[in-house]
Chains A and B, each alone.
Chain A
């Protein structure tokens, strides 16, 4: 394998992992606050279509990204009102949000089918972003760097800040957090909104960077992978980063192996590879008890009423 090919594979890998990382990171924060929102796929699609529509109309992918984040928040608020204020079942509401997102995005997107935009461009000057080797580090668009910064930011927030501690407390024991005076529902609203914003951004990464066009169900189920990644990461941002890139690597390698002519493996086996890898890692994690404690937030998915 030549170095040019290796660089190219790494570039594809990073691009493929970024939307997974964003959506999963948002969901991680929501789940840390005790809310299980299965509507990630729906929120991603809302972000994808809003990002494309706005970028197409304004000619600015930057404004498109902002719009995508807002669209994700708006979609997540439908969930929040139902699941947090009206205490609907979170699993059912999240699934409904996904179905809603698929329908709404296809309705809004109907007028944009067949249109294209200029894809998100690398942030660094061409000398770096098109350098044959250095482009692995400098050749990406703003969202890639933003996603990495967000991992660091969320990790720091959850572990080192007081609001982060409170958010975790709400997720671990909502009744106690409420008893000592924290607004449980408001905090969960904020966490769900953050999750929506990142899911929206992750979705927009498809329509603005990976395939700069609108097409129905553009995310093709990546929202579900993001949900699995949160479990995979045992609710730890650092491990989430690892998981997202591992997943992206397996997805990319699968195609690269096929293109390189690895024919002794059936294509279906290669297509399964990312999922087999997930199962393998989950198994290893649960075997290594101390490293891999699956510490889900204790109140995950439970409705809370401050009565």
Chain B
């Protein structure tokens, strides 16, 4: 398995961590703070895991010799995750970030065995005294790129390469479509489910199928840059996912939703250092900088730029919520009354599509 790399890198990390004085760790202020990360994918995916690793690198830059970071990549969501998390805990790390939804139960389980170690789980909902959760409001970024799509689409149709119909993905599709429809009331968003997070060839074929059906804007909620490449080949526009993917498709790439975990990681390490770490749950977005918008390409028209900037500013200022009523679903049922804003609970359980989405 890819654990060839994993183990090699883990050995470095573990060796580094084992140089910590095991006894009196708490008493010695000079001993570097061990910070561990468990990743679901390879750090080279240029997407989700890559962005978490960028956060780890930002920590090293910020704190230098005051901390020691280590990570294990390509950890399968399942029993293996508990082993990986435990390994990092035994290596002397005092703060451990587990960065995928499927690590939720193993994180809670291991945290029970190490009550003095602080755990942070990304995108989960289970917490404990020493387990906090954190997540990003990706849908805010999708509202911004949806605005650009609405302005720039000539056919009035966007193609959405999607993974699985879970609330996170459904929420993103709705946010994108609502924003585009605000610009063009007849806008259509077509969704192709790939039933995978990661299969570059299939993702590319899905994008091609959407382009065949008239979409001239491609966006995605799968993990590879393949849909962008398909868009580039067919001469239509597309948006990057999780990171700036311009290098994969210089002409097609209009902008991207960028995940930026570094600010949160830096804050939480400081909390541990100061003895202020507390469990809790955060869901941060554009305002806090956990979600960012990649620079617009030259192809983005001035009108689209201005509109997108306005949406960004409105969300940051709190004057604009991407889900504001009146909102009807595909069957015409009113989900939000005029002027009503979606609650976080409604968002996190979303299982219906806004009128005009073909999914």
Contact = CB atoms under 8 A, between A and B. Distances in A.
Interface residues of A, number: 44
A133 B108 CA distance: 59
Contacts of A260: 213
B96 interface: no
B229 A116 contact: yes
A255 B359 CA distance: 12
A106 B2 contact: yes
Contacts of A263: 358-359
Contacts of A149: none
A113 B199 contact: no
Given A16-B201, A103-B4, A217-B198, A258 B229 contact: no
B124 to A, nearest CB: 24
A12 B229 CA distance: 14
Given A211-B226, A212-B229, A113 B46 contact: yes
Interface stretch (B13-21, B37-45, B59-67): B37-45
Contacts of B229: 116, 211-213
B222 to A, nearest CB: 11
Interface in A244-270: 251-252, 255-256, 258-261, 263, 267-268, 270
Contact of B1 (A102, A113, A114): A102
Contact of A213 (B192, B200, B210, B215): B200
A119 B226 CA distance: 12
A95 B358 CA distance: 41
A116 B210 CA distance: 23
A87 interface: no
B281 to A, nearest CB: 31
B5 A116 contact: no
A281 interface: no
A241 to B, nearest CB: 20
A219 B224 CA distance: 12
A221 B195 CA distance: 14
A261 B204 contact: no
Interface in A1-38: 5, 8-9, 12, 16
A222 B191 CA distance: 24
A252 B209 CA distance: 8
A8 B209 CA distance: 9
B35 to A, nearest CB: 22
A210 B204 contact: yes
Contacts of A258: 191-193, 206, 209
Given A216-B44, A220-B200, A261-B190, A5 B4 contact: no
Contact of A210 (B201, B210, B213): B201
A189 B287 CA distance: 62
A293 B209 CA distance: 37
A109 B45 CA distance: 11
A99 interface: yes
Nearest to B159: A259
Contact of A103 (B3, B198, B199, B225): B3
Contact of A8 (B194, B200, B208): B208
A222 B200 CA distance: 12
B212 interface: yes
B168 interface: no
Given A102-B2, A258-B193, A252 B44 contact: no
A231 interface: no
A146 interface: no
B196 interface: yes
B2 A216 contact: yes
A255 B45 contact: no
Given A12-B209, A107-B4, A267 B196 contact: no
B205 interface: yes
Contacts of B159: 259
22 contacts: A8-B208, A8-B212, A12-B209, A103-B2, A106-B4, A106-B5, A114-B44, A116-B229, A210-B201, A211-B224, A212-B229, A215-B44, A215-B46, A216-B44, A218-B201, A220-B198, A222-B201, A256-B213, A259-B209, A263-B358, A267-B193, A271-B194
Interface of A: 5, 8-9, 12, 16, 99, 102-104, 106-107, 109-110, 113-116, 119, 206, 210-213, 215-222, 251-252, 255-256, 258-261, 263, 267-268, 270-271
